[in-house]
Each structure stands twice: as C-alpha cells, then as structure tokens.
C-alpha cells in the first residue's frame, strides 16, 4: 500500500491520486489515501510516500538489450573524441585477452575524430596482431575489423559486396580496408563465437539492474533470437525484472510462424512483439536511404537494405500469420517506402484488432508522409535521445532537410501513435535523457532549442514511455497506467517532473521501482 503521494496515473479518467493498493501482482485500489486505507492497513506492507511523485513504470520501446548487456564487458569507445585515445583504449583491453581470443566492442564515431579514413585494418593489426578484432561504429551500421578477422571471414580483394552491404576496398590495391557496411558486417559477425549462456545471463542481470534503477519496467527488444531464449531462461529462473516484448529478425519469421505464435502472445513477462526488417542504414554512416543525395555528395543516396517490393512481400507474409512488423527506416525515402510496403500489404486482423505495424527511428520525414502514419495506423517508434547527439551531423549531411528531422510534434499533431525508446547501446538507456531531449530539443550543456517547433509536452513524453508504449506491444489492458486491474508496475521519483524546470529533468532519480508488486530497485 502506497499512501500520501502524488500519483500521476496516466489514466485520463482519474489522472491524479494519492494512494495505490497492490495485491499480488495487480493494482486493487487507486484513489485518496483515506479511501485506500479503508482496505485495512494491517493486511498490507505500508509505504508512506510523504508527497513523493509516482508514475507508471517506463517501457523503452527500442533497445538492443543483449548487445547493451554484452557491451558492459567489452571494449567501450563511446564518447572517445581522439583517435589516439581510441587506439590506447583498444590496446589496453587487448592486453587482458587470451591468445587468439576475439576482441569485440564498439562505440567509435568517425564524425568526431576526423573521418573514416583513420579506421583501417592496418591500425588494428599493429595493436592486436594476435587477436581478430571487430568493433562496431556508434550507430551499429559499420564494422571496423583487422586482417585476422577478414581472413577468418574469407574476405579478400575478390569478395563481392553482399546484397544490401558494402566491403570498402582500397582504390589502388583493391584490398579490403577493414571497413564493412550494413549487411557486409554479417560476414564477420557469423564467425564470432557468442558468449556462453551463463555469461550472457550474468550480463543481462547486470543490465537489468541498470534499467530498473533508471525507472524501466519494460523493454521492446530488437536483438538476435538468442536474446529471447535467454530472457525465457531468466523468466524460468524467476529473476526477470523487466517485461520484455521481443522483435525477431526476418530470419526467424518462418520459425515464429511454425510455432503458431502471434504478436502480443506470451506471458505477462515475455511476449512476441513481431518481426523486425531493415529498409536502410543510418545517418552517421551516410547509408540512410534518401530521396536526394547527402549534402556534399552528388550520388550518395544511401543504401537500400531491402527493396520496397521485398518489404511488401515480407510484411504481407507476417501479417497473414498474425505477426506485426517493425521496419528500420531512417532516411526520408526509407520511411516513405516502408509506409508504402505496409499500405500495399493486406492488413490482416489479429484476434482483438488490427496489427500494429511500426516504423523504427523515422529520423527524417518527408512532409507528405506525416498524415500517412495516422491513416495507416502505423506506430512511429522514435528515439528522442538521438536528437541532441545528431544535431551537428544532421546539419552537415541533411542541411535544410533537418527541418523535418526527429519531427515528433509533427507526428503527434497528425494523430499518429508515437512511442519513445533509447536505441541502447547506441545511446544511453536512461529514459530521463530521452525525455529531456524530447521536451527541450537541445544538448544538456546548451539552452537554444534545435527546431523548437518539434518540442513535445512532458505529458506526451511520459505517455510515449507508458500508455502508448503498452499499446505498441498489445499490452494496453495490462500496463502503461496506474489503474485497478492492471499490473502493479510503477516508480517513485525523487522530484516531481511535472512541476520542475525541464532543464532539471536529467537530475531525476528513481527511488523505488516496483514490478508486479515486487520492489526490484530501491535507493
């Protein structure tokens, strides 16, 4: 029983309350403290909130959580702004490895250290002659590898680019430079042995503690299929402290269909979200699919990872089986083609309503496409935390088109369902940084908003992590608001974010995280 608080329920019928009572995993009463106390305090563990604010638990709608967990134990180059420091960090990490052990990690950003030409296989060969090396770029769309990794993957000057990918080669010698883009990265990833299951589960538990401490009670995960299996084991062990909706890669679509599972099915803790497809690449690597070339280029329109025709076939195939789809689309043309593929596909109905197809990222929007999200019922799954991080490269590579970049308010005003995530480990998993970015549109150290007309209200930002997040995973009747009959997922905050200065939102601490009536974090 939580008493004497300021409870922001996110339930339009009763937006504010003072107290909540929980029995088992469900909420059984919401209202004034005096009314909730009538249930009888002696039957409950009583927590006096002393005026503290409570909101529903937050759901991160786009994570690569297994990658985030593994990254906690791999070389981390996030935020390293000099190439020399990148090299020294890699060298120090390599010294801890056994002979011939893979050195894996990432986070390097060519846009802040002087360009892609620095990232060569020869630079890694000097540092790690005894180890194959694979280091993801910050956006996870480029892989930097050494000669030993190329050799193990069978990549040489005669190797052709795979469909939807690029093996960068030296213009003079024709030899691979050590940079692989988009689907070419898979040629190396396939050769890297995955961590043992026990090690992965240990990393996941560490990652869940971090997520719970920031107020997350759920994630919508876009990882490889091993993640779903590992989450199932954690659930069986009784130690899963996040509610997980899994989005499986297209390679797993047939097996998901054979199992008879449909989107939204599973337990309260682990459900199938749907199938994940890729239309293009990224802004940071200039592989996002564009209507017009990137600024400074006459012919770089990005990389089409999957054609519109193939996307249409895949969406239709999944839909016929009752499986919703999530399409990665960052460039304006990719977003347009993804909407086309959904529109052309037969909109099959799942039990209880229409499939909730979604487009992930929507980083650049053609102005004619905003209304189509609402008309087609497509969920816009976006990550506000990218906005301050990408201001400089958006201006550099998209120029005046940036007016339609990260256009959250435009999407909301069109009537689209908009949900928020982090894209962790590409950006921080801390939802308060994403909320701050959505309502201010500027970096922490700055005050001037970037295209301020796209700022959203705090209520909309919280809704995108709660009510609409639950809708996107077919769970709006289970969670996303503090209502009688719903799962008791909620968080107690150190400050009332609805009353504080938006600039102070990143300072918000989560004092208590409750998942299904169980405290999974307490400061």
pLDDT in tens, 208-242: 999 999 999 999 999 888 999 999 999 999 999 99
Q: For residue 246, is pLDDT > 80? A: yes
pTM of the model: 0.89
If phi > 0 it is left, if psi is from -120 to 50 it is alpha, else beta; for residue 131 that is beta
Taking the C-alpha atoms of residue 350 and residue 132, their distance in angstroms, rounded to an integer, is: 46
**Quick one: which of 211, 242, 214 has its CA closest to 228?**
242
Fold classified for 103-189: Diaminopimelate Epimerase; Chain A, domain 1 (3.10.310)
Fold classified for 60-65+196-514: TIM Barrel (3.20.20)
**Quick one: which of 433, 439, 442, 373 has its CA closest to 409?**
439
Strand partners, 278: 328
Q: Using DSSP, state whether 84 is helix, strand or coil.
A: helix
Burial of 251 (C-beta count, 10 Å sphere; 0-12/13-18/19+): exposed
Taking the C-alpha atoms of residue 503 and residue 444, their distance in angstroms, rounded to an integer, is: 8
Helices (H), 136-196: 147-153, 186-189
Q: For residue 3, is pLDDT > 50? A: yes
Taking the C-alpha atoms of residue 238 and residue 516, their distance in angstroms, rounded to an integer, is: 13
b/e 325-362 (16+ beta carbons within 10 angstroms → b): bbbbbbbbbbbbbbbbbbeebeebebeeeebbbbbbbb
Instruction: List CB contacts of 511: < 8 A, sequence separation 6 or more.
Output: 52, 492, 493, 494, 522, 523
pLDDT value of residue 353: 52
pLDDT value of residue 347: 53
Q: Where in the chain is the domain with CATH 3.10.310.70?
A: 103-189
Q: How confident is the model at residue 349 (pLDDT cuts 50, 70, 90)?
A: very low
pLDDT value of residue 139: 84
Other beta carbons less than 10 A from residue 224's beta carbon: 16
Q: What percent of the chain has pLDDT over 90?
A: 89
Backbone angles phi, psi at 117, to 5 degrees: -60, -25
pLDDT value of residue 113: 80
Taking the C-alpha atoms of residue 219 and residue 103, their distance in angstroms, rounded to an integer, is: 28
Q: For residue 352, is pLDDT > 90? A: no
Q: How confident is the model at residue 118 (pLDDT cuts 50, 70, 90)?
A: confident
Q: What's the whole-number average pLDDT of the chain?
A: 94
Q: How confident is the model at residue 351 (pLDDT cuts 50, 70, 90)?
A: very low
Q: For residue 166, is pLDDT > 70? A: yes
Q: For residue 158, is pLDDT > 60? A: yes
Q: Where in the chain is the domain with CATH 3.20.20.140?
A: 60-65+196-514
Backbone angles phi, psi at 60, to 5 degrees: -85, 115
Tally the C-alpha atoms within 13 A of residue 153's C-alpha that lie toward its C-beta.
31
Q: What is the mean pLDDT of residues 482-498?
A: 98
Taking the C-alpha atoms of residue 341 and residue 333, their distance in angstroms, rounded to an integer, is: 12
CA distances from 348 to 22, 318, 343, 424, 427 (A): 38, 9, 12, 31, 34
Residues 389-416 pLDDT 10s: 999 999 999 999 999 999 999 999 999 9
Residues 273-300 pLDDT 10s: 999 999 999 998 899 999 999 999 999 9
Strand partners, 294: none
Q: What are the tokens at 364?
A: 């650049």
Backbone angles phi, psi at 261, to 5 degrees: -70, 145
pLDDT value of residue 350: 43
In 36-157, at which residue ranges do the beta strands (DSSP E only) sit?
47-48, 53-56, 58-63, 75-76, 103-108, 133-137, 142-145
Q: What is the mean pLDDT of residues 316-326?
A: 94
Query: Averaging pLDDT over each range in 47-51, 114-118, 354-358, which range is the top one?
Result: 47-51
**Quick one: which of 489, 506, 496 has its CA closest to 27?**
489
Q: For residue 49, is pLDDT > 80? A: yes
User: Position of tokens 């308010």?
Assistant: 409
CA distances from 313 to 255, 290, 438 (A): 17, 22, 34
Strand partners, 419: 381
Q: What is the mean pLDDT of residues 46-60?
A: 97
Burial of 300 (C-beta count, 10 Å sphere; 0-12/13-18/19+): middle
User: Position of tokens 């910050």?
Assistant: 138
Q: What is the mean pLDDT of residues 427-452?
A: 96
Instruction: List CB contacts of 166: < 8 A, sequence separation 6 or more.
Output: 180, 181, 182, 184, 303
Of the ranges 41-55, 350-364, 425-439, 442-456, which one carries the lowest mean pLDDT score? 350-364
H/E element holding 23? Answer: strand 19-23
């Amino acid at each position: 029983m939580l008493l004497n608080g300021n409870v922001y329920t996110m339930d339009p019928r009763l937006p504010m309350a003072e107290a909540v009572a929980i029995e088992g995993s469900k909420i059984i009463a919401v209202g004034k403290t005096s009314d909730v106390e009538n249930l009888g305090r002696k039957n409950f563990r009583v927590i006096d909130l002393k005026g503290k604010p409570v909101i529903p638990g937050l759901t991160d709608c786009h994570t690569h959580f297994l990658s985030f967990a593994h990254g906690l134990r791999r070389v981390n180059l996030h935020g390293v702004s000099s190439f020399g420091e990148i090299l020294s960090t890699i060298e120090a990490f390599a010294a801890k490895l056994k002979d011939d052990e893979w050195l894996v990690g990432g986070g390097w950003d060519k846009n802040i250290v002087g360009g892609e030409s620095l990232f060569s296989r020869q630079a890694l060969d000097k540092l790690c002659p005894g180890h194959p090396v694979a280091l993801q770029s910050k956006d996870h769309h480029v892989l930097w590898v050494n000669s030993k990794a190329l050799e193990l993957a069978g990549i040489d000057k005669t190797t052709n680019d795979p469909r939807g990918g690029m093996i960068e080669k030296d213009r003079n010698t024709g030899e691979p430079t050590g940079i692989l883009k988009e689907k070419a990265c898979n040629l190396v990833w396939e050769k890297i042995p995955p961590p043992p299951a026990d090690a992965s589960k240990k990393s996941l538990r560490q990652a869940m503690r971090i997520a719970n401490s920031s107020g997350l009670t759920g994630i919508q995960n876009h990882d490889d299929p091993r993640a779903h299996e590992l989450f199932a084991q954690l659930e069986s062990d009784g130690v899963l402290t996040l509610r997980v909706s899994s989005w499986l890669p297209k390679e797993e679509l047939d097996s998901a269909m054979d199992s008879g599972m449909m989107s939204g099915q599973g337990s309260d803790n682990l459900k199938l979200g749907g199938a994940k497809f890729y239309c293009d690449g990224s802004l940071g690597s200039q592989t996002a699919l564009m209507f017009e070339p990137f600024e400074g280029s006459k012919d770089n329109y990005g990389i089409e990872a999957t054609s519109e025709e193939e996307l249409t076939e895949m969406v239709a195939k999944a839909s016929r089986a009752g499986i919703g789809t999530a399409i990665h689309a960052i460039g304006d043309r990719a977003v347009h083609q993804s909407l086309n593929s959904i529109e052309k596909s037969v909109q099959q109905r799942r039990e209880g309503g229409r499939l909730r197809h979604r487009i992930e990222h929507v980083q650049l929007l053609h102005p004619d496409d905003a209304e189509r999200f609402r008309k087609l019922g497509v969920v816009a799954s976006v990550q506000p935390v990218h906005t301050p991080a990408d201001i400089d490269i958006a201006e550099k590579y998209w120029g005046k088109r940036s007016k339609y970049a990260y256009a959250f308010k435009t999407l909301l005003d069109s009537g689209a369902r908009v949900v928020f995530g982090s894209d962790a480990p590409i950006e921080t998993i801390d939802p308060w940084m994403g909320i701050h970015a959505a309502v201010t549109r500027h970096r922490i150290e700055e005050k001037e908003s970037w295209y301020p007309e796209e700022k959203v209200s705090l209520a909309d930002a919280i809704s995108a992590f709660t009510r609409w997040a639950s809708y996107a995973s077919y769970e709006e009747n289970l969670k996303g608001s503090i209502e009688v009959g719903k799962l008791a997922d909620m968080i107690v905050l150190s400050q009332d974010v609805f009353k504080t200065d938006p600039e102070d939102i990143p300072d918000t601490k989560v004092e208590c995280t409750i998942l299904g009536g169980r405290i999974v974090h307490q400061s």
